[in-house]
Amino acid sequence: MKIYLTLLSTIITSICALADSQKFAQDRAAILAMSGAFEVEFNFEETVSLDEGYKLKKPYLADAYELVEVAQDTGKSITLQHLLVVEGEDGPVVIKHWGQVWKYEDRRTLNYEGGNTWLPVTHSDADVEGTWTQFVTQIDESPRYKAFGAWVHTANTSIWTSRLSTRPLPRREYTKRNDYDLLMVTNRHVITPEGWVHQQENSKLVSREGKRKFLCMERGLNQYRRVSDENSKGGFKLARKKWDQTRTFWGQVRNCWDQVISDTDEPIRYALIVDGNRLMSEVNSMARKAEKGEAINQVAIREVLTKFLR
């Protein structure tokens, strides 16, 4: 009887390990499916007013071409870099856009506290079992948000849903609005036959002077539809060239930020402007040098970040 139970336990353990391995492979395939060349539609619409007297703003609609490159793949960590392609007066223009860093069973996330401050949060092994964190970086690789969630593979699609997380105002609003301070968000990525969809359920939160209140709820739907290089009129080719010239540099910048975030349990904060200069401008200046073939010392990158950290 004892031998039978031992054998049964071994079989069950083997089956569970195989299922975990298959699920892990499906997770990785879903993340990697978000790479490629896409036509993107951005759609954000405020849906419900939550503050007396607040009037919903007009929907935000935009479209663009975007190249998503696999910047790094180590198995349990996959980094995707978005490169925006827009029309300029003399042809396509490439703008380094947001990045996605996916990590398997990662215990660290970030809460955005407002005031350009992020608080590291450590979770238990049990909480993160089978999950992936998605760490979204801004165009200079500084933090934007980081949350964890699980991929679910059902029928003919794969869906990742985050736990509720906080993040700063989006770029489409932070230069135009000052009536709220942060977003509370549930993030969802859905793999589709055409490409993938990024859904957001947002609540706009005022957090100041010791008071907190919601202004409204917002729905975001960004649709990524796979297209050929011809659609961008040479823009995707230009984006690949630009990324090949700068990917080593941006990898160094990511490494510096990783060190900043992993070395502390204290709040992480950086100033937007120091001595009249913006962090984004200084980092992009170094990126332009890297694009011309100049080697950038990682120590120099860390010195720039340190100057802005508070």
Is this prediction's pTM over 0.95?
no
- Rounded to whole angstroms, the Cα distance separating 305 from 310 reads 10
> Do residues 223 and 253 lie in contact, with contact meaning Cβ atoms separated by under 8 Å?
no
DSSP assignment letter at 51: S
The Cα–Cα gap between 245 and 215 comes to 43
Domains of the chain, residue spans: 2-230
pLDDT at position 98 is 96
DSSP-derived 3-state class of residue 5: helix
Structure tokens, 58: 């007009």
In tens digits, what is the pLDDT along the chain, a chain of 310 residues? 667 656 555 555 445 555 688 999 999 999 999 999 999 999 999 999 999 999 999 999 999 999 999 999 999 999 999 999 998 888 899 999 999 999 999 999 999 999 999 999 999 999 999 999 999 999 999 999 999 999 999 999 999 999 999 999 998 998 899 999 999 999 999 999 999 999 999 999 999 988 899 999 999 999 999 999 988 889 999 999 999 999 999 999 999 999 999 888 899 999 989 999 999 999 999 999 999 999 999 999 999 999 999 8
Q: Which of 57, 108, 85 is nearest to 218 (CA)?
A: 57
Report pLDDT for 41. 97
Residue 251: CB partners within 8 Å, gap ≥ 6?
Answer: 71, 72
